[in-house]
Structure 1
């Protein structure tokens, strides 16, 4: 039971004989306070120097504990003690300080519980688990210091709001389960999860805390003691049985139940009744209590709260998966959610209910297999030019109304056709089949339009691309030219049905996608699409504008213009036209609405919203290859590499021969640290296009990421044979690999030649990035003035926010904070998430170099809440190191090493940055040296091995000295 003041778990002196199989024995709440000190408990506590206070009651704002922790304010008080906001003067940061009541501080059981909280919580490193810093003792006070969360506990939110929206409840519990999953993977079971132990900060980040009653499943069972808070106990806890991770999952269901309905399912008048009900009863499903609760979400709760652990989810990760499926973050897999149960009833009973059980657990029908389709050029027998190339995109859109059908890009098909048959003028049915067979496309659709009296006749047929057999035919008559537009969806209906679409109504459907008011608008739009995909942006603007002139409500034409202007770097025009597209969204199909909103959010840099739109798109249209590809990109910029990999694979599964999407998959593997997987995917890409320089770049960076930098140089040489872009990137790659080895003089020589070549080719961005690499080299060589000059050149040449961030950080290291702050101000004025995060990083590093670690840590954390970047972890680690916060520094550098795939191309822009990786090993050595760990020597040695052939810079000399002293 919980103390009504502070929610601290108590042991209640009650025994209730419920029945022969369910007896609950509860321990005494009056803990024996005369027990002698237990040395094994006492030894865990850090002794802080004698301070100014002698009792918890003396702790007022301004009080100092052990000459280290200055009390700022009381956050809460309860039966076990009090929690304060305090300033740690030693490492200059604000912490939460949990102080045990002096009269309880001598109790070994209490001390063991607090020690347990530290030991087990420190095993868990996860963004959704609160960080415990230390145990301490001073002047007779025992306390824990932990991460301070600026937010509210979940209990207060529920009390205030009554209940949460299904969306909010699911998002919160998804984060709770992610934190629990991290704990369970460390064999730690919480055992006292409840809304009071779940914090939600101002940005919506959720943290699980209070592991005081947690135990390690590696240490044996916990049967015989009733521990926890009765309202949130599992049945096995209530019966004092051994518990495992599935006990926490029952509690997850209880909490989600309360968030959705506003009530606790097993509420009763007495403690015995509360515990008994969860042992013998099954709570009504949330959807039965409140029919507005989505059934799928209600089913998740029901499964969590199964009385038998074997019938629940078996891991928190499974709950995360189902919550993400419900939220539209991921697409559901084909696996069963519910397991078939083993029934131990008599044969006669099985016979009676067998049909119902089989029906309930029957596997749902599998999703329709993806069908890829290429629409060939329709034969225009009317002699009217406006019909040339106009009907094909209309028909493709109508076909894509089926979720499993994906139309192959016709412009891409034309480009492939010119390779298959040089000089070919049109994409007729025979050429389209050749392209389809080469690209693995299942179906080719051919068509024709002709005059029919005063109207028009349109006919199509679907062909098996491999053998040319006709699969289906369809034709329709349009009484007027304008009626052709509205006849296309009817023309597509029989073809869709023949390919397996069961949703097609026999009634005429609403035309799919763009409902242009005239054929002229549709014709201009199709011309704009082709020009855009060929990179002919001026022509694309002309055609899209003509489409809008013919139909001012043509939403897709505005969207096309917005994307073209975005590609040209004209942000204001892009935003203007995408907003106009959104204002016409009612004229679009469901699929195109998601695409348009996704494109808008990508432009805005709001990758969270872009992720939501594309996730919804592929949930409804799982065969939308571009949807999966764009969802992967959104995940990438949110630094969710596993999700990017998953979506990238789905895009490639749909179009195995799409070179661009396969390259992206190799990049996601690279950034995720799967270097062998990245090389495999790059090889697949090169098999499709042997001259694709960026696939060779992936191979080279994967070699360096694997620690085989010498093998990257031949690959960079290969890139130099693959055109101007390959030459420019290879130059930067070679220089970066030399800097990785510490060979600064050679790197500078390579970069000078590369900059000259870039400027000759008017490649300002390439030259700018090389100037930044040169500034890095000059700093290694301790030539600050030359580093500043190189940064000046990079900034003058211009570039995006990644160049501005890199330049600002180099300026700070070179002692030029004013120049860094000027760049920071430009970034801070941007509305997109990434530039704002970068401005925070510059602020944080500025604070760090001004010897203000507390302000620096706060700014780094604010940046991380916007975007969790690799460079943010690296810089924060250095800040902690300088503050002698060695555990925190080690955590950050350990994360950098685990995420080293991101470091090979920090800004995901094909600009190698492997030069940062050896520095991580150096800093890991220093942090572990500060912790007294023998592993420090291994880190220093690994760093020196990499730099063995380079110039002895300051870090090399320092590492040698530290290693020799060990």
Structure 2
């Protein structure tokens, strides 16, 4: 009748099952009599009800025993412990010894509710079935009176969470009773006992007809071996038929939070080392994204928690909900029965319930890395990743990390120091790791990162060489990361394609997208850079503030001032100090000079000397933009004279910028002296540093030559071109090659061949050309007496003021020149219009120029040019 009215069962659910049996319950009635026995059972029922409410249990069935379901193993264990203690107290009050057997297991079950008609005729309200139920029953039946037995699945999950029981949880006794065979279960099962001192028997259960100790094969009768083989075949078929499906809505590229490793072995060397190893193993997946430890600590700060707060089930779940992670993974290492066990459980952060669990045992601490690989592979498969993908994207930890746990611990400490911005400490930890294991490729790569982050190529280079030497010992993603940095240092021009490959294969690996966006901006490809910069603004990125800064730069390069302003404001909210100068660029490009200078003079730099010196370029540019050219020259001269400790490259940048401003102010002799000296220093530096910064130094030399060309002098340009003629490999870098073409076109123009210069420069107009390509083309058209075409270029220069401020090529050394040219383009437009006979338009352009650059502030040599367009009264 129950079957006739049974609704359809829900899908399989992972639950904790607790079965108990009150020992000698029939004898109790005989001893006490019906009345006292009834009163005892009523007290027993009150105890069960109270414990149900305390431990959130669901009572499914009861007679002499109980069947309860719980969301978590620790809740079932808490019920069992309190139940054992409560029975002792009930019995003591009546001078009886009351004990119960208990079996605790975790597995999938099917539940359904019987119809009201079925319940009225005696059916249970809720039915529970599944392979987990008989397993829990076998455990319970095997237990001695007063004994709580746990399965191998339930024990690590309960053991890990025992601290939630408070002080009592720390005093619990845990004991393995070895491997047992259960009737009807094909594989041997390891069983455990847990209990309180003085209450738990802590003795091996007795053998029985339905459960017996697993004896080694050589001690068994031969016939039993055949029986086990048959059962194994049956069990395998049952397993495949009932194999659990994913119970969490996890999709490719979803995020997980890895909680702090719980180390129950007492070996402190395992604390940081195995936690780092777990991350390295899991991060090899292209299916599962792992939230970085740095991002988790950042979220802790926003939660107003201390940075060293333990990421347990509750805390990690809250981080997951805040950062959009779909699951939490909690790893544990324990010593069980003389073996090291690595286990991990997948938690649904919304309910904090265990969805999946995996474990692997090994002999000794050296087995831990192999066990971690086994556990993470199992978790990845349960989260939905295809086995082929797991095999393709995974390398064994001993190969891609290190077998030396001390070296792994040093690397883990280096990662933490790097994430906190303590680069010197990080470098020391990485070098300690490679001293302990000279083949530790990830640690060499860490040293490369510290060199790059601290702008110290000299530090990075030797470690890059060692990392390349051991490239085959890197995880696939990190090998691509190494290839990209190798291209940055060795070939330069190939770096963009390497970063693109990394960014496309691992779209949520923020380093790939950020570096590719940076490379795209170095080529003025701002629209493409915007798409990759947007990826780095996801909440899971611990450096998303820098992502907003990159996004704002890409938008300013496209003249989208509103979007750029919003992006830089977001970066400032996330404490990116450099975004203050970018935000000032937006204001200045739109004529908001007061706001720009206020932002540039703020103390948001945190005292960083390098930041303050780069700001000198922006201040100089804003002064030029307002026509305050003499003041701009005094300012950049003072900045260029100050040494920049530990950053020779920035000293060159300031030198080129100072030369450009001197040239604009009309002091040709002094400007030429400065620029000739700048070009010589740059060429010498390029020869001494034949990699990484070489492209920048050559750019400074060509820029100096170009600035002298603008004064009508071709001699410096010819000497620089001659010095570089035997180095064709340099011109594989797009923007360096473009600047060389600009200089070559300048030589053609100055030698009386403006048409040849025009043809050369027009090939550069790709839609992401250098700002000065247009300025050079404007002057070539003017020299060729083509004012209408020159006017088009002048209008382009005046309308791309965002690009003038933000163009990053050559470390922004030509930013002041670009900004000045964006303003001078109005004067040049007026001159071309006047030449074309469009006098009224010419006067309007000239007046607009004077409105932006008051005559009393301009260099004297501009007056003669303005006078040809406007009479003195108009000026």
TM-score (norm 2): 0.59
> Which of 784, 790, 802 is equivalent to 1:901?
802
Partner-residue secondary structure (3-state), 1:711: helix
Partner-residue secondary structure (3-state), 2:578: helix
- Alignment pair present for 1:734 and 2:639: no
Cα offsets for 1:452-477 (capped at 9, x unmatched): 44542122234455775545433222
Matches within 5 A, 1:487-886: 487-497=371-381, 499-502=383-386, 510-511=394-395, 515-520=400-405, 521-534=407-420, 536-537=422-423, 540-545=426-431, 547-548=433-434, 554-566=440-452, 578=464, 581-582=467-468, 584-604=470-490, 606-607=492-493, 609-653=494-538, 655=540, 658-689=544-575, 692-719=576-603, 723-725=607-609, 727-752=612-637, 754-755=639-640, 758-759=642-643, 768-788=652-672, 790-791=674-675, 800-801=696-697, 803-813=700-710, 819=716, 829=727, 831=730, 833=733, 834-853=735-754, 856-857=757-758, 860=761, 868-886=769-787
Matches within 5 A, 1:433-512: 441=325, 443-463=327-347, 468-497=352-381, 499-502=383-386, 510-511=394-395
Task: Return closer, same or farther for 1:873/1:408 CA change in 2, 3 Å cut-off.
Answer: farther
CA distance in 2, matches of 1:584, 1:854: 54
CA distance in 1, matches of 2:724, 2:305: 48
Matches within 5 A, 1:220-369: 368=251
Task: Return closer, same or farther for 1:395/1:827 CA change in 2, 3 Å cut-off.
Answer: farther
Report if the CA contact (8 A) 1:602-1:634 is conserved. no
CA distance in 1, matches of 2:458, 2:648: 22
> Equivalent residue for 2:850?
944
> Which of 823, 829, 832 is equivalent to 1:918?
823
Structure 1 residue 644: Cα displacement: 0.5
Q: Runs of 5+ in structure 1 lacking a partner? A: 1-365
Task: Return closer, same or farther for 1:887/1:511 CA change in 2, 3 Å cut-off.
Answer: same
Report if the CA contact (8 A) 1:791-1:811 is conserved. yes
CA distance in 2, matches of 1:572, 1:754: 25
Cα offsets for 1:549-601 (capped at 9, x unmatched): 66565544444444445556665885665466456544444433433323333
Report if the CA contact (8 A) 1:558-1:577 is conserved. yes
Report if the CA contact (8 A) 2:362-2:371 is conserved. yes
Cα offsets for 1:67-88 (capped at 9, x unmatched): xxxxxxxxxxxxxxxxxxxxxx
Q: Which moved more, 1:445-454 or 1:366-375?
A: 366-375
Task: Return closer, same or farther for 1:719/1:894 CA change in 2, 3 Å cut-off.
Answer: farther
CA distance in 2, matches of 1:931, 1:473: 81
Structure 1 residue 622: Cα displacement: 3.0
Task: Return closer, same or farther for 1:716/1:568 CA change in 2, 3 Å cut-off.
Answer: closer
Q: Which moved more, 1:399-408 or 1:871-880?
A: 399-408
Partner-residue secondary structure (3-state), 2:260: coil
- Alignment pair present for 1:958 and 2:865: yes
Task: Return closer, same or farther for 1:488/1:735 CA change in 2, 3 Å cut-off.
Answer: same
Report if the CA contact (8 A) 1:731-1:751 is conserved. yes
CA distance in 1, matches of 2:605, 2:410: 40
> Equivalent residue for 1:410?
293
CA distance in 1, matches of 2:742, 2:832: 22
Partner-residue secondary structure (3-state), 1:389: helix
Structure 1 residue 679: Cα displacement: 0.4
Partner-residue secondary structure (3-state), 2:508: coil
Partner-residue secondary structure (3-state), 1:643: helix
Partner-residue secondary structure (3-state), 1:697: helix
Report if the CA contact (8 A) 1:471-1:498 is conserved. no
Structure 1 residue 606: Cα displacement: 4.2
Report if the CA contact (8 A) 1:390-1:519 is conserved. no
Structure 1 residue 645: Cα displacement: 0.6
Structure 1 residue 490: Cα displacement: 2.5
Cα offsets for 1:785-821 (capped at 9, x unmatched): 3334554786769894354444333344456655555
Task: Return closer, same or farther for 1:417/1:910 CA change in 2, 3 Å cut-off.
Answer: farther
Report if the CA contact (8 A) 1:827-1:839 is conserved. no
CA distance in 2, matches of 1:507, 1:590: 12
CA distance in 1, matches of 2:662, 2:831: 23
Report if the CA contact (8 A) 2:580-2:604 is conserved. no
Task: Return closer, same or farther for 1:464/1:804 CA change in 2, 3 Å cut-off.
Answer: farther
Task: Return closer, same or farther for 1:700/1:910 CA change in 2, 3 Å cut-off.
Answer: farther
Task: Return closer, same or farther for 1:368/1:962 CA change in 2, 3 Å cut-off.
Answer: farther
TM-score (norm 1): 0.54
Cα offsets for 1:761-795 (capped at 9, x unmatched): 77765565444444333323312233345547867
Number of residue pairs matched?
A: 597
Report if the CA contact (8 A) 1:377-1:392 is conserved. yes
Partner-residue secondary structure (3-state), 1:445: strand
Structure 1 residue 666: Cα displacement: 1.2
Structure 1 residue 701: Cα displacement: 0.8
Task: Return closer, same or farther for 1:827/1:505 CA change in 2, 3 Å cut-off.
Answer: closer
Report if the CA contact (8 A) 1:380-1:449 is conserved. yes
Q: Runs of 5+ in structure 2 lacking a partner? A: 1-248, 686-692
CA distance in 2, matches of 1:535, 1:826: 41
Structure 1 residue 728: Cα displacement: 3.7
Superposed CA RMSD in Å reads 4.3
CA distance in 2, matches of 1:468, 1:462: 9
CA distance in 2, matches of 1:562, 1:515: 17
Task: Return closer, same or farther for 1:592/1:781 CA change in 2, 3 Å cut-off.
Answer: closer
CA distance in 2, matches of 1:804, 1:779: 16
Structure 1 residue 749: Cα displacement: 3.8
> Equivalent residue for 2:255?
372
Report if the CA contact (8 A) 2:373-2:396 is conserved. yes
Q: Which has the larger radius of gyration?
A: 2
Structure 1 residue 642: Cα displacement: 0.6
Partner-residue secondary structure (3-state), 1:713: helix
Task: Return closer, same or farther for 1:509/1:896 CA change in 2, 3 Å cut-off.
Answer: closer
Cα offsets for 1:678-702 (capped at 9, x unmatched): 001111222232xx33222222111
Structure 1 residue 415: Cα displacement: 6.3
Task: Return closer, same or farther for 1:377/1:753 CA change in 2, 3 Å cut-off.
Answer: farther
Task: Return closer, same or farther for 1:416/1:742 CA change in 2, 3 Å cut-off.
Answer: same
CA distance in 1, matches of 2:638, 2:789: 42
Structure 1 residue 739: Cα displacement: 0.8
CA distance in 2, matches of 1:763, 1:569: 8
> Could you say which structure has the higher helix fraction?
2
Structure 1 residue 869: Cα displacement: 1.9
Structure 1 residue 533: Cα displacement: 4.6
CA distance in 2, matches of 1:604, 1:762: 22
